[in-house]
Structures are given as structure tokens and as C-alpha cells.
Chain A
Amino acid sequence: MTTATAPRSTLVTACAAVLCAALPPAAQAQAQATAPEPAATCASIEVHNVRPQQGQLMVAAYADADTFGKRPTVSLRVPAGEATTTLQLCGLVGPVVALTLFQDLDSDGKMGRNVLGMPSEPWGSSGSPGAFGPSWDTAKVTLDGKRLVVRMSQ
């Protein structure tokens, strides 16, 4: 049914620390789609456990290990809708993609953190985020036309 497996790790703060890094300030501030390359494709993303109607969903997609966490192929900001939300993300290139998400509840453009650096806003990623966060290896999934599933943290 899905190409994304649920995250195995529960070491969330670490994940989120990387996740935050994975969404560069420009991407966090505003949706910006880079110019689609000739082979660009779209993917349908099913996001679960969204806090309904609260703030924005911030999505970043990466095409390879070198750019992961630094330069997304495409990023997206959409108002949070229902608890299960389906998004269409276009401009993806290559056979694989890694998605990182957070829900910007207070719409300040960045992931909220407490004084210890722990995330205070929900996060999610494609693949199976490891204990140290959604690395390229744990987050990458095959772009094969199937819907990608991401569960936001609870």
C-alpha cells in the first residue's frame, strides 16, 4: 500500500534536530519550488496525525545524500488541513526521494524548540527515521508512483 515504512526510532529530538536542519530557512519561510527539471515527477503524499487546522505543514524533499538536509529539490508550505491530509508534491527528480516534514503550529516559519533543544512541534519523515534522525539512508524511498505515507509524531 505504501512505499514508506513507519519510523522505527523513537529518539525524536535527535530526529527533529536533523529535521530542522533539513529545512533551510528559505524553505521554512516560504514555499518555493525550484524550476522543474525535464524529468521532474509528482508524488502523492499522505500525511497522518496532522493537528487539524493548526498552522502549516512544512515539507522538504531531497534527491540525494549530498543535498539531504541542505538543499531540497522542492519544498512546500501548506495550511494544515484534516488529521489525514493528502498533498501533491511536484518537481521531484530521480528514482528516490527523502521527505522531511514538520507542522509549524504557530506559523513562525521554524520548528519550535524547548530550552533543551527538544522539538515542541510535530515532525515526520518518509522512510524509517533512525535514532539519530532522518538521514538520507533512513528517509529515502523509491518514487514508483505509489502514494508516500508520513506519520507525524504524537
Chain B
Amino acid sequence: MGFFKFVLRRKMVLVAFLMLIMVLLVTALAPVIAPYDPGKLNVPDRLESPGSSHPFGTDHFGRDVLSRVIFGARITLLLGLSISIFAVVFGVPIGVISGYFDPVGMVAMRIVDAAMAFPAIMMALALMTILGGRGVVNVIIAVGIVWAPRMVRTVYSSTLSIKEETYVESARAVGASSGRILARHIVVNLLSPVIVQATFTFAFSIMEVAALNFLGVGIPPFIPSWGGMMSEARNYILVAPWMIGFPGLFLALSVLSFNIIGDAFRDRLDPKLRTEQLA
């Protein structure tokens, strides 16, 4: 049975995939489909409720909320993807080496545990300060450092079980070097747990980025982002609830589809992983 059939058979996964495709399309076509310039001020039309000219209403500067939500999808995807790549690039090598060489693993895992003792958002906040404040690259590094240890954990435990497999033992018996075993037998088998963890990293990190932007320490305010929009909307929550409702809804839907897709990947690629908990 192909992956495509598997997706079609489960309605919820199908909906999640459609949602993901929609977000991708919106991201790619943002300048074409956005009805207005997301940064264009139009003070006479401020705080207009959703209607025919502005389907999602306007904000306190008269900017079109729909256009800002569309452009917000761009930066959200970009950050989520970059953070997941960061976590994979740093997490996988450290995890594999820790899992394969016991003494390294003993030390590395204690450090990973210590790093994970800090609440994610607090660690990200502190790292943002250390890196010197707001900025797209800083957000990627800060949130990436928060999620990399979780990737290390996943890769480490998978490596531990893979290296006990008979085919690794036989490779060693015929005289394969550690490097060859790692590259040819272990890393290739890590693909499924890494994809699963990367999907969850994506979901959690876009939520965390939104929280950073909401607190005013994420990306610079001139880039439209869902978290930033919600932060600005706070003071208008009673008069213009659409300002916070729409970006929040799209954030929740995106995280939801990534969570569902992550679950589906996990069930599909490796039934053994099902019992493992998130994070």
C-alpha cells in the first residue's frame, strides 16, 4: 500500500495534508493573492469589521488583516522549516555519535537532560538576549538550540536500538569500520524517527516563535507575523476581536495539521514508536 492510499484512507490526515498544501500555496503566492499590501497604512479605514472589502477586517492602522495573515504564513513557514533544519543538522550527528559510542553518550545525555530542564520558552528568551535581541536569524538560532536537544534524545535512543540489530553485528563481523557502519547501516535507518521528530519540531517551534513575537522579543515588528499581530491586537480585543481571532485561528490550524501529519508519519513509518510520548 502506498503512502498516498494510506493518506486517503484516513480522513483526518487527508484534511491535514490539504491544509498543509493550502498553507504552502498561500506562502508561494502571497504577493499575488493578498488583496492589499500588508504594510500599507490606511488610517481612515481603521478597525473596520470583516466585510466585502476586507474579508478579515482591518487593524488599528487600517491595514488589511487578511493580507497580513497571508504574509504571516510566509514567515511562519520559513521559520518553522529553518528551525527544524537547524535541529536536524545539529541534533542528528550528536545523537548518532552519542548513541554509538557509549562514553560520549553518557556525557552528552547528561548535558542534554540539563538543557531540557529549562522551560522551552524561557531558554529561547534567554538565548534571544544573549544573541543580541530581535532578528529573524536570532530566532532561528535561539529556538533551534531549544529544540536540538530533543532531536538528540530521539536520535540517541533510536541509535541505541539500531546498533543492537543483527545486520550491524554482521557488518562488524566482516570487518566494517565504525565510520562505515554509521554511514551505511545506522544513519539510513534513522530516517523515520528523524522525520517524525522534525514534524513535531516544526509544530512546536512555530507555536514558540508566535509566543516570542507575542512577547515582543521575536522577529522585528515590521515583518507581519501571526504572533506579532496578536500582540498588537491585545489592546483592541474588545473593539476588534477579528484582529486576534484570525491569526490565532490560522496558527492553531497549522500547528494542528503538523501534529496530525506527525502522528500519521509515526504510525505509518514505525508502529513501534507509537507508544513513545511527544516531546
Do A and B truly interact?
no
